[in-house]
Chain A
């Protein structure tokens, strides 16, 4: 349910996660079904589609264009991806297949916040469990694919980025250099962003919405033989002074080190085309900060850390009309967060608790997916996976704290997670039909299982994890039909998730809240069922070589037993985007709106939100300055300076008002 319609460019259903596979199958002329169910968002500005986007927009603004992703916003920075209307613990986000766990108990650092657009080539979004090679999931998965120079003809390339946004004074400076050779390559890129407070429509300054982010990435590859290569990759990302206007606290530091080493071998045999093995490690440090807030009931420090070490090994092959991928993966994560509250009364001892009691997650996963072309028109995809998931509470202080609530709780818990899906596609002339059924399970997240008095500033409750919960299970059905003829391309698709043992916080009036001024305590529990339905429709018109008009409509509905309406569910939304290009010029006008958000759940802090519509305008031109191609793009977002908040804005914090921006990208070869 695209916010801004670019789906004609964005939904490149022919893409797969791996170039070699894509090439292989393109040769065969049969499209993988799993890939039909995927959505791919192009992020690098190599493609012509780039002209229609704000090239130096945040990674979040790119993901927000996906039909199945909503971004829940707690400020101007680090938005949380909701896949198919479900919070981030129901999906798996990876960077180049690497598992990363956020380090903040309050979701201030979704995995996506630790990368930059310049690090990435594309984001692949799998719906439900189909193609869920990166781990057991309910809602789907997002794999952010790193960009890298790659092997090739001897070539030195460079790129400089410059951006400015008027509304919050955001400055973006960046650049990259890459050097390729047939035998090896190396590339580096860096981006710096600095923004002040943004202003809502009408000019109201949104205090504590500033941020500063610095990102550095490097890749290197070396060919050991004609079909053997090793590659190393590193991302270092550091955000400081990040304001979260929708929350009672800010962040002084969010730092990530993400590194990997991989070995890839091609053309192993007539049936095995690729073997790729990667080992990786990432280390996340997160520090919340309330020192900039003048009035807080009590000052506190809340540092968190998350470390993950893992691997995956993947075989890609074909036999007959089967195209298969098998993946073995595993990782160990350590999540620890604590809270020190400084007593207001002099001489009193400070208060300390472990909010994530040093939880280790040990995870081993096997996954197989197979595309079978039964005929030219009819194909089927079957995938299945099984995982062993183990949690250990390492810290005795934390274990004993949780045992207050669960005296019978054990230090370690192991569970088995299964998933499977069957998808079919039938193509007949201008029509394409698809139908898929999938089943997925997940373990409770660290917060859901072991969180200790995690304050949710939206509903005002302290959340207590529940280590005794069963797996959450989902059965989903998705169907789609598309028709394209002449200049018209149209598509309607829908998915329904039927979730059992749905994990949700339920108020427990017996328990006394910890947060001063809070509403009480919610304990994670499982309700018997939840249902989430998604419908999306695209009508895209390729009016002429110069004119393109895309329209998109979306709607979700989510209800669960006991709680009623599920929060953060998108109301009817629509967007329309008209683009014109002529030679090196491009002009684009777009609108985006939501119907009234009234299927709300006040128990979770939601309130009625009025309908809104906003307009955007942009123009771009490709220049040549001394043979250096320069891409310039200028535009204005929220043209009418409308004051609005959407269903996905935490505490209904208003979105940005009118914003002029300028992006410049200069390249040299």
Chain B
């Protein structure tokens, strides 16, 4: 088990190297290419000082579930800032119970000078009366700034996030980070698992395990072999392998186990139980 876990780490490490080395090529023509493959999703102008915080995502949209978000800050003269430290606070402003969502720390994008990155995992979409407000605090050369704006979160086409109360009585949010573009074959699967002690507190859990059982409900609940359950990597995300034998609609049934191996959520798939109460849907 331990060796499998370490081989995961090793593989993820290799993956990181591959990822970064491949980005290196694009960053040779900087700084414009730092935004390759990304589209502007939102931008906030700080009325006090004229700074502009721009938010980018691969699709140019925010959607329910996990979103990789990239940021750039320009001062009022249009210069990109390369030495900011940034934090953010998303808030779902509701008629009654406002709440936050899982949000990562923000770091410099690999091999980038001016682009920062993090992720947000929205539990729900914006609607006419309820909306997501994003507050961004950043510090440049010891000076603190704060800006905020409303972002539009659209519903995802598939269910890739689940918020629930576990068997331990705690509230959790589990979201699918990868694969964003699934393929027939073995996919690297990445998920985030957060505990939610209160409406605005989200803490990544440690030492948990996400067991997966991908199924095709329209194919007699066909499953695939050689999946690897998700275990935690150094960056607190959960890493595993997801085998998909064909294209189509897949349901990734899951069981969340805590560090003591007790089941927090989800059931095993059996002939009489075709679906777990904890699942993601993937369609490609």
Residues from chain B with Cβ under 8 Å of A400 in the complex: 183-186
Q: Are B218 and A298 in contact (CB under 8 A)?
A: yes
Number of interface residues of B (CB under 8 A): 23
Residues from chain B with Cβ under 8 Å of A23 in the complex: none
Given that A400-B183, A404-B185 are contacting pairs, would A348 and B248 also be in contact in the complex, using a CB cutoff of 8 Å? yes
Q: Report the Cα distance A343→B221, complex, angstroms.
A: 13
Q: Are A404 and B226 in contact (CB under 8 A)?
A: yes
Residues from chain A with Cβ under 8 Å of B218 in the complex: 298, 343-345, 348, 351
The answer to the question of A341 belonging to the interface, with a C-beta cut-off of 8 Å to chain B, is yes
Q: Are A353 and B225 in contact (CB under 8 A)?
A: no
The answer to the question of B37 belonging to the interface, with a C-beta cut-off of 8 Å to chain A, is no
Q: Could you mark each residue 95-121 of chain B with 1 if its beta carbon is under 8 Å from any beta carbon of chain A, else 0?
A: 000000000000000000000000000
CB distance from B118 to the nearest CB of A (A): 30
Q: Are A352 and B222 in contact (CB under 8 A)?
A: no
Residues from chain B with Cβ under 8 Å of A451 in the complex: none
Number of interface residues of A (CB under 8 A): 32
The answer to the question of A623 belonging to the interface, with a C-beta cut-off of 8 Å to chain B, is no
Question: A353: which of B184, B243, B283, B284 is its contact (CB, 8 Å)?
Answer: B184
Given that A348-B248, A353-B247, A453-B245 are contacting pairs, would A404 and B220 also be in contact in the complex, using a CB cutoff of 8 Å? no
Q: Are A404 and B225 in contact (CB under 8 A)?
A: yes
Q: Could you mark each residue 104-115 of chain A with 1 if its beta carbon is under 8 Å from any beta carbon of chain B, else 0?
A: 000000000000
Closest residue to A402 on the B side, CB-wise?
A: B185
Enumerate B176-231 residues with CB–CB distance to A below 8 Å: 183-186, 216, 218-226
Residues from chain A with Cβ under 8 Å of B249 in the complex: 343, 345, 348-349, 351
CB distance from A343 to the nearest CB of B (A): 5
Q: Report the Cα distance A401→B284, complex, angstroms.
A: 15
Q: Could you mark each residue 453-477 of chain A with 1 if its beta carbon is under 8 Å from any beta carbon of chain B, else 0?
A: 1000000000000000000000000
Question: B185: which of A348, A403, A512, A515 is its contact (CB, 8 Å)?
Answer: A403
Q: Are B226 and A516 in contact (CB under 8 A)?
A: no
The answer to the question of B246 belonging to the interface, with a C-beta cut-off of 8 Å to chain A, is yes
Enumerate A273-331 residues with CB–CB distance to B below 8 Å: 297-298
Q: Could you mark each residue 400-428 of chain A with 1 if its beta carbon is under 8 Å from any beta carbon of chain B, else 0?
A: 11011101000000000000000000000
Q: Are B224 and A404 in contact (CB under 8 A)?
A: yes
Q: Report the Cα distance A624→B251, complex, angstroms.
A: 74
Q: Are B222 and A401 in contact (CB under 8 A)?
A: no
Query: What are 15 sample pairs from A and B whose C-beta atoms fall under 8 A apart?
Result: A341-B246, A343-B249, A345-B218, A348-B248, A348-B283, A349-B283, A351-B246, A352-B247, A353-B184, A353-B246, A354-B184, A405-B226, A453-B245, A512-B222, A513-B222
Contact residues of B with A, CB < 8 Å? 183-186, 216, 218-226, 243-249, 283-284
Given A345-B249, A452-B245, output 8 extra A-B contacts at Cβ < 8 Å. A345-B218, A348-B218, A349-B249, A351-B218, A351-B219, A354-B184, A400-B185, A401-B246
Contact residues of A with B, CB < 8 Å? 297-298, 339, 341, 343-345, 348-354, 397, 399-401, 403-405, 407, 452-453, 510-517
Shortest beta-carbon contacts, A-B, top 3: A400-B185, A351-B248, A512-B223
